[in-house]
Structure 1
Amino acid sequence: MAKALFPRAWVKKSFYFQARISFVRVKYLFLTWLTVLVGSWVLYVQYSTYTELCRGHECKNAICDKYRKGIIDGSACSSLCDKETLYMGRCLSTLPNNQVYTGSWGDHDGIIRCKLGEVVHYELGEEPEPRRETPVFDKPTRGTSVEKFREMVFNHLKSKLGEQANLASLVSQILSVADGNRDGRVSLPEARSTWALLQMDENTLRVIGEALPALVSQPLMKRKQLPGFLEEEVRYPKESLASLAHLVFVHHLAADTFPSVFSPVFCLRFNMEHVFHLLSSTEESKIQKGLELYEKSLVRVEDGRLPAELLEIKTFLTVPQNLVKVMATCPRHDLRTKGLKVLKLSIDKFDTEAKYRFFQYMLKTSNHSGVEGYIIQNIKTQISIALQPGKSNIWFEGVQLLPLLRRVFSLPDGPETDLLQYLDRIMESMNVLRYLLIRDKVTENQTGIWTELYKIEDTFLKPLRVGLNMSRAHYEKELHNMKTKNKAKEKSIVSVSVGDETLPNMTTESQAQALHSALHTFDMMESVLVRIEELTEVKEHL
């Protein structure tokens, strides 16, 4: 019986072993198949991406097609298409419609660029749409004279670089380069090729023929006392250098030519002169350039890295004043909003001491209630940070803070201050005082607010109470007088002028709404003032 059982057990064990081996084989076969499938898919994606980004044959065909049709011309075109002595090398493209390759032309190495139409994706069964190409070779038109083309190039360079003493010589240099076959005249294809190259700002920068770092950083160098110009040789106007800095730092043209040792703070320093010049203009296009250049220069700097010593440089104080003018007077809402955004960004880049000194300067010089209110709001933020555990600093608490608080808690004209004109500043000042009285307990007095309270009452709270009562009485009287006037005289009683333009007269109803709005504002101010007065009574009962 035992002998009969042994073969059966052996057969069963052998079958189990073979089944296990088969399962392992199937498992590894499946993993191998899955690996091949995933690898093939990755290779396909990489290949399809490469073929979309790198279309060298299409790039060459597009250039040679325009060359043979007489649309463009030049020695480079003949070398690429006829002589085949210009070779396209490694693909550097990052966008499908902007092809970039390394190039070799005899002993010269360079970069070949060509713009193709957008890659059109379509589903199977659909007819592909024809490729759309950017018409960059349509100017100048047929029949344009050489003098007209010279004028086109001159105006183009003037719009890019501004007024320059050597602008005419630059135009002559470009026209000589445009004569690719050196036959003494500029043909229509050669002119179109040159014009298309000038549309790319990096080529415009190369026309200057000088090192960009030296040009852009000229404000830090010795300057000749000639209005509107920099450097001893008086070759480059401020406007030209400012436009050049905008091209480099905002549009990142030829930015790779800048030495890596140029720190963000150093770049900000020499750009401040350019920003000041652009923001000093009344032209909206220049103001926009100035805001963009200032923003791009600031974002490269880490928060809290600008020391207080930089405020000894004139432009670090005059540029914020220009920002105030932009925010207050610029007709375009987007530029006013951008100005506030850049001001906030600049504050974030200062260290603690620099913030303290900057706030003092702005409260003293801005003369704009909205800006002063924004600065006071930032002061409150810095005090709140200083009061947090482990974040104490000497500038926004204790003895150092008191001079700044005295400037915050003051009325420009005492009890006679126009409360509506200075509404933003006064409301933010009261909010800061209310916050300090609640947050900083009498027993702790970290900010020194309870020590300074008696002065604040004399210079701020009592004059504000008197001013509120006077303003309320005045507007209530005006409202009463308006209601008692003869209805025949109520149709148009107030005339308003902005600059040289007289606005439509205010009706009685509009004037009544304005008076009621002012009274509501006084009610709001008084409610905050009453709360502050309640908090100050705590000290009197101690």
Structure 2
Amino acid sequence: MLLMNDDQLNGVIQSWRDTKEEDLKPEDYQQFKNFGSFCLTEGDSQQLLAFLRDDSNQDIVRYMGCVLLDPLVNEVVKRKKNHDDCQAAITHLTMTCSPENVLHCWLKILADIDPGAISEIIIAILPHLQTVLFKLDERKAVSVGLALSALQKQLSRLPVPYTEQQEEDDELGLCRCCTALALFMEPFVEEAKKKDDPCVGEDDLKIELLKFCMKSLRDPLLEADLNRERQSALWLFAVEITAILHAIRESLSELIFFSSLRKSTLMDTSVFKESRACLAYLLFVQLLAMDSFPAVFSPVFILQCNMEHISQLLSSKKESHLLKGLALLEKSLEKVEDDCLPVGLLEQKSFHSSLQNLQCILTDCPMLHLRKSGLKILQLFINKLDLEARHKFFRYMLKTSHHAGLESYIVNNIRGQVELSMKQGNANKWFLGNELISLLELVLRLPECAETDLLTNMDRIMESLNLLRYMFLRDKELRRNTFVWDELIRIKDEYLKLLRVCISMSRAYYSAELKALREDQRLQAKEARDAARSNRLIKSMTVKPEKMANMPPEVQHQVLQIALVTFDLMESLIIRIEEIAEKK
């Protein structure tokens, strides 16, 4: 084609004019594409546009014009001088070619986008894609669904801005795409709203819109920093998504609380769960679309339903998911009255998994701000439990946390409950009666008996000793129940006896380590002096405790000194407890 002279080219064009569509061969389509690409490469976009608009060429354009959409879009994305001519050519092809063929070409172009050109191509295509979809009267809903699915798939490939500055810069165009998509959706939403009586086509269109909204709640909105105070582009996209759900008469309460089997089968189960979780966050944390949400649900019911979404979010390793999960848990708890959540809730799967995930955040999460937020929410949750539920929760945490810091926090809470129960009118079996003993047996124990690492468990042990001292100082209330008092004495004797043995063994070990370290430092100093005199290097092979092997000697020395001081503190507290107990 490129080597033809004008007469030859005109001959080929005339042959296309004289050929019926069914007689065109693949070589004709490729030759026509080469012709268009050559015009664009040579900067003759005006010549190409004139050819496409020529009345005598309309059959050629109608039959084969779709093959030019790809090179024309690529030219538009390059933003060259012939940008307007290319846009005009795309518009003409969209209006002239078969809508089915044009849609097929757009979908193929969307499927093959280069990662570096996703936003530019999406924004270039959307107006023309919208036009061709409205030309498809039959199977419009299916076609809209295919287009939205292709667009959403490419949208999910774009990284979500992590900071406010990244979102403002929008280097990869995600925010621009979301804004353009919101405009693209408007006429289809209006069409879906036209009739109250659902016909098949309208219902299908609503389903396709619903699928797109739910997928968008997951990608990109679940990853995004959504805050109504900032009114960012992604926030405005979230507003549009919830507005579409409302416009197509999708009940937010049904989506969040009572998701039907039919709707859950519209997409991948995990995607649907994460989408609902994001919607719950927007509704209850950011109060988006709250004015259209029924006010008949009790705070406890809302908490129960949201626990499924909270568990979903807190099971993630992504910071954006964890932040949303913690915020949703906090807001769901705030509306619940103190001391009212019954023990039965702890047995529900969603509550159990949410608490496990919260526990993992408190003990394993490397991000300090998430741990701080999680600890605040843990206390809020404890405050909402009734006494029996609180008792069971404390037992669960002491058995499963395996983290001295968290266990010491629980022990401190137990002391607070005991203190509260001793006030007039607050006596109860859970923290002052017989059930208290089952808690104390978990609190006043060493996880590995005499071999327990006292330094690692220092927080828990000190808090346990403080609880024991407090209970003996307030013995009057405890003595009223003979069983509780006798069991307290027994547990105290067993615990302190074992703790003394452990302290004795630990002190002997750490004293020996400190002595060995000092001797090692003395030998190393002597070796260094000898090496300097003899100009030879002598390598030290001293074995150190595994946990301190990589520490500098001065840090090792400090750790060992702290350990010995800690043992002294524990022993002095034990002596004080025994003195108080003997007086009582």
Fold match (TM-score > 0.5): yes
Q: Distance in 2 between matches of 1:440 and 1:180?
A: 71
Instruction: Answer yes or no: is 1:211 the counterpart of 2:255.
Output: no
**CA offsets per residue over residues 370-407 of structure 1, 9 Å max, x none?**
11111111111111111111221221112121111111
SS of the residue corresponding to residue 324 of structure 1 reads: helix
Match of 2:343 in 1: 308
Match of 1:175 in 2: 184
Instruction: Answer yes or no: is 1:286 the counterpart of 2:321.
Output: yes
Instruction: Answer yes or no: is 1:444 the counterpart of 2:479.
Output: yes
Match of 2:311 in 1: 276
Q: Distance in 1 between matches of 2:382 and 2:540?
A: 49
Q: Equivalent residues in 2 for 1:288-437 (5 A)?
A: 288-437=323-472
Q: For the structure 1 residues 441 and 216, does the alpha-carbon distance in structure 2 shift closer, same or farther, using more than 3 Å as the test?
A: same
Q: For the structure 1 residues 222 and 417, does the alpha-carbon distance in structure 2 shift closer, same or farther, using more than 3 Å as the test?
A: farther
The one-letter amino acid of 1:258's match is F
**CA offsets per residue over residues 56-105 of structure 1, 9 Å max, x none?**
xxxxxxxxxxxxxxxxxxxxxxxxxxxxxxxxxxxxxxxxxxxxxxxxxx
Shift of residue 317 of structure 1? 2.4
Shift of residue 197 of structure 1? 9.6
Q: For the structure 1 residues 504 and 525, does the alpha-carbon distance in structure 2 shift closer, same or farther, using more than 3 Å as the test?
A: closer
Q: Distance in 1 between matches of 2:294 and 2:544?
A: 63
Judge conservation of contact 1:291–1:338 (CA < 8 Å) in 2. Answer: yes
Shift of residue 258 of structure 1? 1.9
In structure 2, runs of 5+ residues without a counterpart are 1-118, 130-147, 161-179, 192-231, 529-538
SS of the residue corresponding to residue 509 of structure 1 reads: helix
Identity %: 43
Query: How many equivalent residue pairs?
Result: 368
Match of 1:67 in 2: none
Match of 1:75 in 2: none
Match of 1:43 in 2: none
**CA offsets per residue over residues 460-489 of structure 1, 9 Å max, x none?**
111100000000110000000111122156
Q: Distance in 2 between matches of 1:401 and 1:146?
A: 69
Q: Distance in 2 between matches of 1:431 and 1:297?
A: 34
The one-letter amino acid of 2:243's match is R
Match of 1:117 in 2: none
Q: Distance in 2 between matches of 1:340 and 1:451?
A: 35
Shift of residue 329 of structure 1? 2.0
**CA offsets per residue over residues 292-317 of structure 1, 9 Å max, x none?**
01001000111112111211212222
Shift of residue 446 of structure 1? 4.8
Judge conservation of contact 1:442–1:450 (CA < 8 Å) in 2. Answer: no
Match of 1:243 among 278, 296, 299: 278
Judge conservation of contact 2:434–2:484 (CA < 8 Å) in 1. Answer: no
SS of the residue corresponding to residue 297 of structure 1 reads: helix
Q: For the structure 1 residues 157 and 412, does the alpha-carbon distance in structure 2 shift closer, same or farther, using more than 3 Å as the test?
A: same
The one-letter amino acid of 1:205's match is T
Judge conservation of contact 1:493–1:506 (CA < 8 Å) in 2. Answer: no
The one-letter amino acid of 1:155's match is L
Q: Distance in 1 between matches of 2:546 and 2:454?
A: 20
Shift of residue 222 of structure 1? 7.4
Q: For the structure 1 residues 421 and 351, does the alpha-carbon distance in structure 2 shift closer, same or farther, using more than 3 Å as the test?
A: same
The one-letter amino acid of 1:380's match is R
Judge conservation of contact 2:189–2:244 (CA < 8 Å) in 1. Answer: no
**TM-score (structure 1 length as normaliser):** 0.61
**CA offsets per residue over residues 13-57 of structure 1, 9 Å max, x none?**
xxxxxxxxxxxxxxxxxxxxxxxxxxxxxxxxxxxxxxxxxxxxx
Q: Distance in 1 between matches of 2:285 and 2:552?
A: 49
Match of 1:125 in 2: none
Q: Distance in 2 between matches of 1:526 and 1:538?
A: 19
Judge conservation of contact 2:404–2:457 (CA < 8 Å) in 1. Answer: yes
Shift of residue 155 of structure 1? 2.4
Q: Distance in 1 between matches of 2:122 and 2:352?
A: 54
Match of 2:505 in 1: 470
Q: For the structure 1 residues 266 and 417, does the alpha-carbon distance in structure 2 shift closer, same or farther, using more than 3 Å as the test?
A: same
**TM-score (structure 2 length as normaliser):** 0.57
**CA offsets per residue over residues 204-225 of structure 1, 9 Å max, x none?**
113344211111114xx6779x
Q: For the structure 1 residues 274 and 299, does the alpha-carbon distance in structure 2 shift closer, same or farther, using more than 3 Å as the test?
A: same
In structure 1, runs of 5+ residues without a counterpart are 1-139, 161-170, 183-194, 225-229, 498-502
Match of 2:302 among 267, 276, 300: 267
SS of the residue corresponding to residue 398 of structure 1 reads: coil
**CA offsets per residue over residues 244-277 of structure 1, 9 Å max, x none?**
1111111101112221111111110011011111
Match of 1:40 in 2: none
Shift of residue 142 of structure 1? 12
**CA offsets per residue over residues 439-473 of structure 1, 9 Å max, x none?**
12388345855311443145311110000000011
Instruction: Answer yes or no: is 1:146 the counterpart of 2:125.
Output: yes
Shift of residue 492 of structure 1? 10
Q: Equivalent residues in 2 for 1:155-194 (5 A)?
A: 155=155, 175=184, 177=186
Q: Distance in 1 between matches of 2:423 and 2:481?
A: 11
Larger mean CA deviation between 417-426 and 205-214 belongs to 205-214
Higher strand share: 1
